[in-house]
Amino acid sequence: MDILIAVLRYGLVTAVVVEVVLVGRALFTLATEKARPAAATAPAAEE
């Protein structure tokens, strides 16, 4: 029974760590995309 509790506990910890890494990577990607020059975006249509 102790082994089952340990497996569940460390499985949950591993899942939380993976989620934190994924969120951090997404935030880093978003920040680098926002930091790129605006010239890379499509120009506004002239009227």
Which pLDDT score, from 0 to 100, does residue 24 have?
98
User: How much is the pTM?
Assistant: 0.64
Residue at 15 is within a domain = yes
* Overall number of domains in the chain: 1
Range of the domain at 13: 2-35
Q: How many Å apart are CA 10 and CA 3, to the nearest integer?
A: 11
Residue at 23 is within a domain = yes
For the cut 80, the answer to whether the pLDDT of residue 43 exceeds it is no
Retrieve residue 11's tokens: 């499985």
Q: Give the model confidence (pLDDT) of 12-40 as tens digits.
A: 999 999 999 999 999 999 999 988 876 55
Which pLDDT score, from 0 to 100, does residue 36 have?
84
Whose tokens are 């969120």? That residue is 23
